[in-house]
């Protein structure tokens, strides 16, 4: 079987740099990580210096995703030899047990860590993951609440996230979506405002644009809205519709397929009562 370095004509340094890029950007492209990482550690481990340990960790987690218990165990053994008694490595051992569906053993491992160090967030997170995987939603929620009490306080609620991260358009957009789902005219107005805010922060956020269109359209058509509120929202919706059309035009560059979806978008917007200006 051809090696990665042969197939793609890359050096071991480039492979190492690729792994670092994937680590930094939090990619979960496990198949690729296993392909590149396995060859790197088999052929070039001695050249990697101190990087080798974080690479073992990265490859191990990817190996678990790909059901490569053989590779995961190899990585784990190297880490256990080097970092005896480490909680970080113990958590990896727990993850391997989870992958083998040995949940009770994994759960015990995380409880051991927490007994030693009750502030270990990673272990708490894994316990919640196990409960979720077992379908024990009530217990998962209980553990999650404990987790929030200890570390995040209210920080994981969207409102807190938005206050502490005012420039993050994604939190704004998520909040808007929650309000939209809750429904009712007040929530719709709030949702429209937050979609608009998300757009202000990132004018290419398509979900925010569609969200603005939908929320404004619904308010504009609502019998509970005053004449002025209706008029304003019809305007907002029309603006959003024209922006949506424009975005599709820009993306299309006139290819045949996208001409189709451009027409579909126009028709969809028309069918929702609000005419694009």
Partner 1 sequence: MMEISLTLIDTWCKENKYVIAGYYQANERIKETRPNQFAEKVAARIAENFSEAALIMVDNSKISMSCYDPAISVFEHHDNKWKCRDASIDCCEDWSEAQKIMSALLEDRSYDSLIDFDNHLDDLRNDWTNPEINKSILHLC
One-character DSSP codes across 68-80: -HHHHHHHHHHHH
* One residue of 177, 188, 199, 219 binding partner 1 per CB under 8 A: 177
| b/e 67-96 (16+ beta carbons within 10 angstroms → b) | ebeebbebbbebbeeeeeeebebbbbbbbb
The Cα 56–Cα 32 span in angstroms is: 15
**Binding of residue 45 to partner 1 (CB under 8 A):** no
Interface mask (CB under 8 A) for partner 1, residues 24-43, using x and -? -------x------------
The yes or no reply on residue 275 touching partner 1 (CB under 8 A) is no
The 8-class DSSP code of residue 184 comes to S
- Residue 104 touches partner 1, criterion: CB under 8 A: no
Q: Given phi > 0 = left and psi -120 to 50 = alpha, else beta, which region is 29?
A: beta
Of 11, 157, 261, 273, the residue at the interface with partner 1 (CB under 8 A) is 261
CA dihedral 248, 249, 251, 254 (to 10 degrees): 130
Structure tokens given for 183: 């429904």
Distance CA(50)–CA(19), nearest Å, equals: 14
Which C-beta is closer to partner 1: that of 17 or that of 31?
A: 31
Residue with smaller CB distance to partner 1, 141 or 260: 260
CB 99 within 8 A of CB 83: no
Q: Shortest gap between Cβ of 154 and partner 1 (angstroms)?
A: 26
Number of residues that bind partner 1 (CB under 8 A): 24
Stretches 1-9, 19-27, 84-92, 253-261: which one binds partner 1 (CB under 8 A)? 253-261
Taking CB under 8 A as the criterion, the residue among 7, 154, 163, 264 binding partner 1 is 264
By CB under 8 A, name the binding residues for partner 1. Answer: 31, 133, 135, 177, 206-207, 210-211, 214, 247-248, 250-251, 257-258, 260-261, 263-265, 267-268, 271-272
């Amino acid at each position: 079987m051809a090696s990665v370095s042969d197939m793609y004509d890359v050096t071991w340094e480039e492979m190492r740099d690729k792994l670092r890029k994937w680590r930094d950007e939090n990619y979960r492209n496990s198949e690729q990580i296993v392909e590149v990482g396995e060859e790197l550690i088999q052929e070039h481990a001695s050249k990697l210096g101190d990087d080798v340990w974080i690479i073992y960790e990265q490859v191990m987690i990817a190996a678990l995703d790909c059901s490569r218990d053989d590779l995961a165990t190899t990585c784990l053994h190297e880490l256990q030899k080097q970092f005896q008694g480490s909680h970080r490595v113990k958590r990896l051992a727990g993850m391997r047990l989870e992958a083998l569906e040995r949940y009770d053993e994994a759960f015990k491992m995380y409880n051991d860590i927490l007994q030693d160090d009750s502030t270990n967030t990673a272990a708490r997170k894994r316990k919640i993951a196990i409960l979720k995987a077992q379908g024990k939603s009530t217990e998962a929620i209980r553990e999650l609440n404990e987790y929030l009490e200890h570390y995040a306080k209210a920080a994981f609620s969207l409102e807190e996230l938005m206050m502490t991260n005012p420039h993050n358009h994604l939190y704004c957009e998520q909040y808007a979506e929650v309000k939209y789902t809750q429904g009712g005219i007040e929530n719709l107005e709030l949702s429209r405002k937050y979609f608009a805010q998300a757009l202000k922060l990132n004018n290419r956020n398509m979900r925010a644009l569609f969200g603005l269109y939908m929320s404004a359209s619904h308010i504009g058509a609502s019998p509970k809205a005053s004449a002025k509120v209706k008029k304003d929202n019809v305007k907002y919706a029309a603006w959003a519709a024209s922006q949506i059309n424009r975005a599709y035009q820009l993306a299309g560059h006139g290819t045949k397929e996208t001409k189709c979806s451009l027409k579909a978008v126009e028709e969809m917007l028309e069918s929702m009562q609000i005419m694009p200006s």
